Amino acid sequence: MAESTGGRVFFPPSVEEMSNSFKEIEEELRSQYALTYTPADFKEDGAFRSIYLYCTDRRYQARAKKGYFAPKP
């Protein structure tokens, strides 16, 4: 579910390691961006539209939802 929605899962191996997971979550929350997208051929047909998002600088990784459902009329 996390991958489908653009999220990430944390599985700390022990309770003691949870603080490391929280540090990673904090870093991630501080480096988020919001993007908007409007397709040129927008159709209100309720169909699923795939999204592919990537960074031109391959040192970075973009995570996003796999797609969205267009609204129905």
pTM for the model stands at: 0.55
Greatest distance between any 2 Cα atoms in the chain: 51
> At 7, is the secondary structure helix, strand, or coil?
coil
Tokens of 57: 């600088």
pLDDT digits (tens, 9 = 90+) for 37-69: 778 888 899 999 988 888 899 898 888 888 889
> How much is the pLDDT for 66?
86
Dihedral over Cα of 28, 48, 59, 21: its sign:
positive
**Run of H or E residues at 18:** helix 18-29
> How much is the pLDDT for 48?
92
